[in-house]
Structure 1
Amino acid sequence: MFTLPQYTAPDFNESGFEAAPSVLTSPAPGDGLLPDNFYATTIYPEYFKIENTWQLINAPRMDCAVVIRSGMPFAVEARRVRKGEAVVIGRKEDLSNGVFIHYDAFKESSSGKVQHFAFRTGKSRESSYSRDYDQLYDILRHDREHGSIVWVLGPAVAFDFDARRSMSGLIEHGYVDALFAGNALATHDLEAGLFNTGLGQDIYTKELYYNGHYHHLETINRVRGAGSIEDFVVQNGMADGIISSCVKKKVPFVLAGSIRDDGPLPGVIGNVYDAQDAMRQHIMKATTVIALATQLHTIAAGNMTPSWQKCADGRLRPVYFYTVDISEFAVGKLHDRGSLSVNSIVTNVQDFLINAARSLGVI
């Protein structure tokens, strides 16, 4: 039976916490501007001493300023800070600036002695992932009932018949609470529904269709003619596929545009900051995030995902973040960008999805 690791709350009665000063703030010099020596947030639980009381940060996110509003600390993107707001300053991590970063909030004891020199401590195509898979399936079963699961998908997911069917099955069986992708994933998934192709190649036999390079453009044009993705799915009676399953199950999807997009489909968000805001609404509730074969969207989601989440009963729990890609470079990139709690799996994402769907009994 899967159980969440216990959160070890800090004891603020200890002398170090008692002796620490309250945070210092400085007014923002202008809209979207931060004062000198501003404090920037991390992915970990962070506490700020305000009027001699330690307060947990609200709306956590990495690389944000901390603004004190009504006596409470909030993580605020620099672009959202307004002139005159009280911004926390000071960059020390020894309590001397009234800030405590709880790095070991969910640390579990390890078995055996720690050995500083050892082989196979990283993640590569040679790593064993059996335990990672089993843990992930346990987490998904738990969070289907007690959390919020966000998937971040690249178009490769729609280029294979069984992978597409597997992702659809996960949506249909409640393992997806929100989906992030770009114009390409939605386009090629809908293309597969119309023509059984991805960029003109049969998603099962890999046969190349004559004039198949028109299929995605034809798909975009038809969806634009329908007025919206939702109306297109209904009008065409599309019974299978990732996007149609989202529409059927009322699972929200955020499609963030890029400079290379064809079309794009209606509903694709062209302004990157509007797309960021739309993604953030779901990430603020996420307890598990799984990113498949999309480096830029993965980093975008990772940069706004904290390592923890507050439950309805006020307890803190970890946020599980998985990134899956056949490229070792791609899965390592997120860790390098500050998402230190990410769990990376190096494998073909299509095989990963099929195994996950079978293990969870959705296909």
Structure 2
Amino acid sequence: MSFSLRPYTAPDFSGLTSAPEAVFLPAPADGVAPEGYHAMSIFPEYFHIGGQWHLAQESRMDCVAVWEEGRIAVREFRHLRRGDLVAVGRTEHGEEGILVHPDGFHEPTAMRESFAFRQGRSRETAFSRDYDELYELLRHEREHGKIVWVMGPAFAFDHDARTAFSRLVEGGYVHAVLAGNALATHDLEAAYLGTALGQDIYTQESRPLGHYNHLDTINAVRRYGSIPAFLKGEGIHGGILWACEKMGVPYVLAGSIRDDGPLPPVIGNVYDAQDAMRDQVRSATTVICMATTLHTIATGNMTPSYRVLPDGTVRQVYFYCVDISEFTVNKLSDRGSLSARGIVTNAQDFIVNLSKGLELM
């Protein structure tokens, strides 16, 4: 199977010659949008300004469009400053100088009959084709894109899954990791003490006083002052974060209200963590979320369906959600684009199969 990106087809503006100019009103106060503001979507959006249609270079749900320095900036409400020129208008077909373009990639749709079986994606769905497509996509993205992984702690409990993901990192298939305190803690505990929450990562047998192990690990990292110092000081040469440090892969650890410790790099302020996640997602071309409902939904909301490359090319952003829970997978099924693909399976099995399919194991 050979992989190629779907070409992007821009809107036909010939029928919009009488469209009015988009209206921009000043923000009345810091963090406040003007009445009638236009909320952005995951799709390419164009704004009619000065007789030309300007494409927003990025987009994010629940944000607004700001006209500044001759371009459309996309901004969260909390980042608005008094006087920012914010687009207003609630229509999407050019009536107010705003055009939302959801069909630029002409994604194929399956023929639907009035009555047909297995139209959704569930535990009974066959995912063999998804794996084959993913192998080719990742090989392409390793050289031409940015692959961001959003990870829950589940597969850090398993020896083979940790090994598989580490090999993905070392193989160049990981360009950024978004996770929380738990994923990092369990991975470091496994590297340090051979356990995750006190259980042996291979046999799953509980160790005596094992419930101390994750706290001992956090405490040791805090004593060293950083994860790199801990890895070096303890002579650790394996695991997910070790591989990230080795390969220079950035990771964002977003804190939560139930964190233990936490580890030194965990970002405790939720809005600072959100900004750090957005910084990585902003240039992502493929996003793969595994075994984390909250991080998946958060990342899905900040990931557009397209990316404008430096040469002006508009390309598709691929989004995968992998989880044993059908609820989590189907939560993003209404994104309106086949770039959001759900795979209902155990995340540990998924990452091992992926590593084998890429011939890394």
TM-score computed with the length of structure 2 as normaliser: 0.97
Q: Which amino acid aligns with 2:62?
A: D
In the superposition, relative to structure 1, how do residues 133 and 283 fare at CA in structure 2: closer, same or farther (>3 Å)? Answer: same
The residue number in structure 2 matching 1:126 is 124
In the superposition, relative to structure 1, how do residues 340 and 361 fare at CA in structure 2: closer, same or farther (>3 Å)? Answer: closer
The residue number in structure 2 matching 1:244 is 242
How far is the alpha carbon of 1:341 from its aligned partner?
4.2
Separation in 1, partners of 2:333, 2:219: 39
How far is the alpha carbon of 1:337 from its aligned partner?
7.6
Separation in 1, partners of 2:229, 2:58: 34
Q: Which amino acid aligns with 1:265?
A: L
Separation in 1, partners of 2:245, 2:162: 15
Check whether the contact 1:326–1:347 (CA below 8 A) recurs between aligned residues.
Answer: yes
How far is the alpha carbon of 1:18 from its aligned partner?
1.3
Separation in 2, partners of 1:110, 1:47: 25
In the superposition, relative to structure 1, how do residues 148 and 164 fare at CA in structure 2: closer, same or farther (>3 Å)? Answer: same
The residue number in structure 1 matching 2:186 is 188
Tell me which of 121, 134, 137 is aligned to 2:135: 137
SS in 2 for 1:335: coil
Q: Which amino acid aligns with 1:5?
A: R
Deviations along 1:261-304, one digit per CA (max 9) or x if unpaired, are 00000000000111111111110110000000011111111111
In the superposition, relative to structure 1, how do residues 337 and 217 fare at CA in structure 2: closer, same or farther (>3 Å)? Answer: farther
How far is the alpha carbon of 1:70 from its aligned partner?
2.1
The residue number in structure 1 matching 2:3 is 2
Separation in 2, partners of 1:292, 1:182: 12
Residue identity (%): 57
How far is the alpha carbon of 1:335 from its aligned partner?
3.4
Which structure 1 residue ranges, 5 or more long, are not aligned?
Answer: none
Separation in 2, partners of 1:343, 1:108: 13
Q: Structure 1 residues 232-241 or 188-197, which shifts more?
A: 232-241
Which structure 2 residue ranges, 5 or more long, are not aligned?
Answer: none
Q: Which amino acid aligns with 2:4?
A: T
The residue number in structure 1 matching 2:16 is 17
The residue number in structure 1 matching 2:349 is 351
Check whether the contact 1:292–1:325 (CA below 8 A) recurs between aligned residues.
Answer: yes
Runs of 4+ in 1 over 4 A off after TM superposition: 336-341
How far is the alpha carbon of 1:184 from its aligned partner?
0.3
> Would you say 1:288 and 2:302 are equivalent positions?
no
The residue number in structure 1 matching 2:104 is 105
Tell me which of 300, 323, 340 is aligned to 1:302: 300
> Would you say 1:209 and 2:216 are equivalent positions?
no
TM-score computed with the length of structure 1 as normaliser: 0.96
Q: Which amino acid aligns with 1:255?
A: L
SS in 1 for 2:255: coil
The residue number in structure 2 matching 1:95 is 94
Deviations along 1:127-146, one digit per CA (max 9) or x if unpaired, are 11111111111110000000
Deviations along 1:202-235, one digit per CA (max 9) or x if unpaired, are 1111111010000000000000011101111121
The residue number in structure 2 matching 1:50 is 49
How far is the alpha carbon of 1:59 from its aligned partner?
3.4
Check whether the contact 1:154–1:185 (CA below 8 A) recurs between aligned residues.
Answer: yes
In the superposition, relative to structure 1, how do residues 102 and 353 fare at CA in structure 2: closer, same or farther (>3 Å)? Answer: same
SS in 2 for 1:167: helix
Deviations along 1:105-161, one digit per CA (max 9) or x if unpaired, are 1113457x5534322111100011111111111110000000000001111120001
How far is the alpha carbon of 1:26 from its aligned partner?
1.5
How far is the alpha carbon of 1:338 from its aligned partner?
7.9
Q: Which amino acid aligns with 1:62?
A: M
Q: Within 5 A, what are the aligned runs for 1:194-343?
A: 194-335=192-333, 341-343=339-341
Q: Structure 1 residues 309-318 or 323-332, which shifts more?
A: 309-318
How far is the alpha carbon of 1:333 from its aligned partner?
2.0
In the superposition, relative to structure 1, how do residues 116 and 5 fare at CA in structure 2: closer, same or farther (>3 Å)? Answer: farther
- Structure 1 vs Structure 2 CA RMSD: 1.5
In the superposition, relative to structure 1, how do residues 144 and 346 fare at CA in structure 2: closer, same or farther (>3 Å)? Answer: same
Separation in 2, partners of 1:154, 1:243: 14
